[in-house]
Amino acid sequence: MPITTTRRRLLAGSAAALALPAFARAQSAVKPRLTAISQWSAGSDGAAITALGKKFEEKGGTWQHSPVPGFTTEMMNKLRAQIIAGDPPACSQLKGPEIAAWSKIAPTLDLDAVVAAAGYEKVVAPDLAKLHKPGGKWIALPLQIYSTNMLFLSKRAMDKAKADKIPVTWAEFNDLADKMKSGGVAFPVANGGTRPDDGQKFEAALAGISPAVYRAAIMNLDEKALKAPEIKAAFVQVRKIADWMDPNVGAQHFSTNLKRFVDGDMGMMIMGGWAQGVLRNAGFKFDDFMIAPGPSDNSKPVFLLNADAFIFWQRKEPDLQAGQTLMAQLVMDPAIQTMYSQITGSIPVRTDVDLSGEGWSDGQRRTAAALKEAIASNQAVLSLAHNMAQENGMTAAMIDVITEYVKNKTIKPEQAATRLAEAVESSR
């Protein structure tokens, strides 16, 4: 077995060498340069990409990163403008099915050889890999992963409920919420009021009830699966969650409620792994809360993937080409992924990075372990709320239904299920 691996690696390596003579020559002749566009401008995101840039320069490259602050739309406008102007960046931040959509607009770089040389494919979750190779060729590389369905438990709310067991299934979650309610926790579920927030409640519910139906209905938009009883069951669960939330949250960011969560006025939070960093940056301690994978009815962790990535655009300039190769190598490098995730609080894309060492939090270790287990049991799926499962238009249509259902309690679960199927049908 080890021999075959080595041989395969060798073959891949020589294939890379053969396929990329231009790159090889360029690398030796010119100083690699990289033009990059991303949204990451401030905070830990900004710090992480800046650190990546430093590494790029240490390797002898010129780093030209121009952040486009704001939301994805702004960055897309910028990208479109650059492409139309005939000057696409050497690489730009892009994620999910948008990678496939945008790859039709301008020629992308074939990264197969570099990826094969690094032996990268076998350490990436299969569904995730697929997103980055539309048409069968790697054109983009994932950089870091968040899970959107982590369960955060308030220590003080747990004390009020006299509970210490972390709920594993939705039934246990509901039990605990009831206990919290009767123990004096005003709102057993802490939440924000944004669209992704509402979307996360639904995807966590459905994927926790049945990852298979989630994959078929939400990722593959299978008509039959969209009418499956699990969809209705998920909406029933979402209504329970909504009844436990503070209705007066408006469209606030979830972080507005962190104080109430830590104080035990709110009990549980279903949020992305990034909430850990937010809690820590707000000055709260690890003793104030617990982190676990979101509820899963078959007791094996379900992992809703949200991954940031870079797409690489074709450039003729030798220095940019050399820069692209260097960037690709860096992004796949376990040491770089470690550095990056330790700054942002995400977990590495590579499933073979050891998180036992210093610099990692328990939450990150648990998330990484959950990802490994979820991949093994085929329960790592792509997040709808964070634009990983569908293109933007389809996502918006589906989240419309979900967010209305969360806020309008006169809509019945079966109605919501029908509306969801209809929304999918009309945006196909």
Partner 1 sequence: MRERTFAPSRILIYLIVSLIAVAWLAPLAVVVLNSLRTNEEIAQGSMIGWPQHLAWSNYATAWSGFCVAETCAGIRPYMLNSALITIPATILSTLLGAVAGYAVSLWRFRGDNWIYGIVTLGIFLPQQMRLLPWTIVLRDTGLMNTLTGLVVIHTIQGLSFTTLFCRNYYVAIPHELIRAARIDGAGFFRIFWRIILPLSPPILVVTVIWQFTHIWNEFLYGVTFTTGQQQPVTAALIALSAAVADIPQHGVQSAAVIIAALPTLLIYLLGGRYFVRGLTAGAVK
User: Which residue ranges make up the site for partner 1 (CB under 8 A)?
Assistant: 39-47, 49-50, 53, 64-71, 74, 77-78, 80-82, 84-87, 253, 255-256, 258-259, 274, 277-278, 281-284, 344-346
Minimum distance from residue 104 beta carbon to partner 1 (Å): 17
Nearest to 394 by CA among 231, 217, 232, 138: 217
Task: Give me the count of residues in the chain.
Answer: 428
Choice between 176 and 258, CB closer to partner 1: 258
Minimum distance from residue 278 beta carbon to partner 1 (Å): 5
Choice between 208 and 277, CB closer to partner 1: 277
Minimum distance from residue 256 beta carbon to partner 1 (Å): 6
Handedness of CA 144, 145, 148, 152 (dihedral sign): negative
- SS3 of residue 233 by DSSP: helix
Choice between 82 and 325, CB closer to partner 1: 82
Cα–Cα distance for residue pair 91/135, rounded to 1 Å: 19
Minimum distance from residue 180 beta carbon to partner 1 (Å): 22
Choice between 21 and 86, CB closer to partner 1: 86
Beta bridge partners of 173: none
Choice between 240 and 386, CB closer to partner 1: 386
Choice between 26 and 279, CB closer to partner 1: 279
303-312 and 91-93 strand pairing? antiparallel
Choice between 43 and 229, CB closer to partner 1: 43
Minimum distance from residue 36 beta carbon to partner 1 (Å): 10
**Residue 134 CB contacts under 8 Å (≥ 6 apart), including other chains:** 99, 100, 103
Minimum distance from residue 281 beta carbon to partner 1 (Å): 5
- What residue type is assigned to position 278 of the chain? V
Minimum distance from residue 215 beta carbon to partner 1 (Å): 25
Biggest CA pair distance of the chain: 71
Whether 158 and 164 have beta carbons less than 8 Å apart is answered as yes
Minimum distance from residue 78 beta carbon to partner 1 (Å): 5
**Residue 379 CB contacts under 8 Å (≥ 6 apart), including other chains:** 207, 211, 296, 300, 301, 302, 303, 373
Minimum distance from residue 167 beta carbon to partner 1 (Å): 25
Choice between 314 and 418, CB closer to partner 1: 314
Minimum distance from residue 42 beta carbon to partner 1 (Å): 5
Choice between 255 and 314, CB closer to partner 1: 255
Give per-residue burial for 313-328: e unless 16+ CB within 10 Å, then b: bebeebbbbbbbbbbb
Choice between 33 and 78, CB closer to partner 1: 78
Token pair 């259902």 in the structure block, residue = 405
- The burial class, CB within 10 Å (0-12 / 13-18 / 19+), for 182 is exposed
Give per-residue burial for 156-177: e unless 16+ CB within 10 Å, then b: bbbebbebeebbbebebbbebb
The DSSP-derived string for 272-333 is -THHHHHHHHTT--GGGEEEEEPP-TTSS--EEEEEEEEEEB----HHHHHHHHHHHHHHH-
